[in-house]
A and B are shown apart, each in its own frame.
Chain A
């Protein structure tokens, strides 16, 4: 690109009548490009500093600790790097917790998807006014602290709570699911459902309604239109929502801690135990590293699939 009409910043202002327009020299163009990238860098500097201080450096520390050794008094020796703590991940107790976390996160994601899809479709096909009201309803839970809402579920699911009363009224006896996997999954679905609804809504809202009509016009039943037209076109939303639910579910700490029992320990709680109770920092760090890698991989797969909906 040539900038013949723009005088260099250091040059003289527009001359009098008849003065030749200043020529854009290669030096000037290089200077302009440098100034441009300098401005861009300065503007993004706070973000870089933030990422460096609160993500890159702590993550580096975690990686270093994961290859360190726990000493006999519960401290950590940074000398003599080894992969022992990674080998321990294959031990049955750690492996069980890893797999349990994984299937609970997958199941939570699937349930959220099934519950959120029709709901998001419903919102996306309302008039703009109704749409906005419904989106506010989706957000309302965020007005209350996550921890408080988890304790609320403890009351609801407890032995004297409304849940047991309802199951009794339904004739299936006083069901108590508090401190079970079911309670954890219920709590996670409840907590992360909005993260599924919002990207799904955004994706479905973007789909031209006449495409659905075209599907019906071309002999597709309602179910076929969903499978062949609506679902593939809303895939970016499905992927984005799934990542947004799967990632925090996998690392969930508060919900399994409050609603889960001893048998439903998930990775998050186990990592906390390693750092605080067992004082095995290398194991906690290696678990954190593995968790982070799984999450990062999921996110990368999403971006590879062309997702732009997060």
Chain B
């Protein structure tokens, strides 16, 4: 049964390094058993936030709780959390087995108990037979597994992962994404995962917290973050988006800076400066005038077609703005080329209007 108390609770956490504010008044609650991703560009404060939870940094101000216990000033060895480091940080002078057993030995767990637990952890990450290898005799993917086992063997209340897939090549990364997710379900431990790769975050997480400039900008389920970004940065950072600047000029109407007025539902008062975000795959391309009745639409001209293999991106200019439309590369797709007059349409509900 997951606990009702949040696994991790950050309240007004701020971390300063000299004059630099790395983490700026972050409030965040991560539920027990959740797979939570901290997502953002490098230098956004996501890794510092993770290190604060681990105890590798101490907050300048604020309260940090793990299952209700205040741990903000405790050293890392006295927190019920373990970390999988970005470069794995396996001890090079120890075998895989000794690496995995390290935490248990440091906690003075009886020998009779250490052995089966180490064996189970190694089996959990499918590294049987590699016990006696040293880290430099293991591939990147294998090191990653040992690092996971080394952390999980301690049955931490929260597992922290700092870009754990960053050093792996693409194919292995995709395989490990699925495996990591399955592993988390199996052990039922709360995972807090730091990544700059939005695809990774979307694919694996129950919830995502998007950070930029030390601030936590939006927290939500992947679908929510993707479909309903609450600010321009999130809309831009997650996936591809057409970001159109404009002003709310009436109920559900936005006049763009190029003078074109479009239908875009929002709660924002008229006069508010906004950005309208439209995903390329949620826009449709028609011969001019061919848009469905209930769609919002603009007329324009195809400026450029980009061939991606599995899809095509049509850049449609209207006045001096443009919208990218993505169409899957299927037989019978729109056969338009650069210079053709077209209409771009979309479901009014598929745009997100965010205040600047």
Q: A interface vs B, CB < 8 Å?
A: 208, 210-211, 213-221, 224, 228-229, 232-233
Give complex CA distance A299, B87 in Å: 35
Beta-carbon nearest neighbor of B78 in chain A: A219
Chain A residues with CB below 8 A from B75, complex form: 216
Contacting residues of chain B (142-160) with chain A, CB-CB under 8 angstroms: 150-151, 154
Cα–Cα distance between A220 and B103 once the two chains are bound (Å): 7
| A-chain residues with CB within 8 Å of residue B81 when the two chains form the complex | 217
- A222: min CB distance to chain B, Å: 8
Among A219, A228, A232, residue most surrounded by chain B Cβ atoms (within 10 Å): A219
Convert B71-83 into 0s and 1s, putting 1 for each residue whose CB lies closer than 8 angstroms to a CB of A. Answer: 0000111000111
B93 proximal to A (CB < 8 A)? yes
Distance in angstroms between the alpha carbons of A215 and B76 in the assembled complex: 9
B107 neighbours in A (Cβ, 8 Å) = 219
- Choose among B82, B83, B85, B91 the residue that contacts A229 (Cβ–Cβ < 8 A): B91
Complex A-B: 26 CB contacts under 8 Å: A208-B87, A208-B89, A210-B86, A210-B87, A211-B89, A211-B92, A213-B85, A214-B83, A214-B85, A214-B90, A216-B76, A216-B77, A217-B54, A217-B55, A217-B76, A217-B77, A217-B81, A217-B83, A218-B77, A218-B82, A218-B150, A219-B106, A220-B77, A220-B102, A224-B106, A229-B91
**Nearest CB of chain B from residue A16's CB, rounded to whole Å:** 46
Once the chains are docked, how many angstroms separate the CA of A211 from the CA of B90? 7
A211 touches B91 (CB 8 A): yes
- Asked whether B56 is an interface residue with its Cβ less than 8 Å from the other chain, the reply is yes
Number of interface residues of B (CB under 8 A): 24
CB-based contact A221/B85 at 8 Å: no
Instruction: Tell me if A210 and B150 are in contact (CB < 8 A).
Output: no
A233 touching B56, Cβ below 8 Å = no
The docked-state distance in angstroms from the alpha carbon of A216 to that of B103 is 9
A213 touches B154 (CB 8 A): no
Across-interface contacts of A232 in B (CB, < 8 A): 93
Assuming A210-B87, A213-B89, A217-B54, is B102 touching A228 (CB within 8 A)? Answer: yes
Interface of chain B: mostly helix, strand, loop or mixed: loop
Given contacts A210-B89, A211-B89, A211-B91, contact A218 B56 (CB under 8 A): no
Q: A211-B92, A214-B91, A221-B77 are in contact. List 14 more A-B contacts (CB 8 A).
A: A210-B85, A210-B86, A211-B89, A211-B91, A213-B56, A213-B85, A214-B83, A214-B90, A216-B75, A216-B77, A217-B81, A218-B102, A218-B150, A219-B106
Give chain A residues whose Cβ lies under 8 Å from the Cβ of B76.
213, 216-217
Residues of B close to A221: CB separation below 8 A: 77, 106
Question: In the bound complex, how far is the Cα of B103 from the Cα of A224, in angstroms?
Answer: 11
When distances are taken between beta carbons in the complex, the residues of chain B under 8 Å from A211 are 89, 91-92
B52 CB to closest chain A CB (Å) equals 13
Chain A residues near B89 (CB, 8 Å)?
208, 210-211, 213-214
Cα distance, A213 to B89, chains bound together (Å): 9
How far does the alpha carbon of A178 sit from the alpha carbon of B90 in the complex, in Å?
50
Instruction: Identify the interface centre among A215, A217, A232: most chain B CB within 10 Å of its CB.
Output: A217
List chain B residues, Cβ under 8 A from A213. Answer: 56, 76, 83, 85, 89
Best-buried of B55, B83, B150 by chain A (most CB within 10 Å): B83
Residue ID in chain A nearest B92 by CB atoms: A233
Instruction: Select from chain B the residue with minimum beta-carbon distance to A224.
Output: B106
A208-B77 Cα distance, complex, nearest whole Å: 19
Cβ–Cβ < 8 Å partners of A219 in chain B: 77, 103, 106-107, 154
| Contact residues in B for A215 (Cβ distance below 8 Å) | 91, 102
A228 to B83, CA, bound (A): 18
Nearest neighbor of A208 in chain B, beta-carbon distance: B89
Q: How far is the CA of A240 from the CA of B54 in the complex (A)?
A: 36
User: Distance in Å from the Cβ of A43 to the closest Cβ of chain B?
Assistant: 33
Q: Are B106 and A220 in contact (CB under 8 A)?
A: yes
- In chain B, positions 103-157 with a C-beta closer than 8 Å to chain A are 103, 106-107, 150-151, 154
- Which one, A210, A218, A229, A233, contacts B103 given CB within 8 A? A218
Cα–Cα, bound, A81→B85 (Å):
67
User: How close is B197's CB to chain A, nearest CB, in angstroms?
Assistant: 20
A268 to B249, CA, bound (A): 96
CA separation between A217 and B56, bound complex, in Å?
Answer: 8
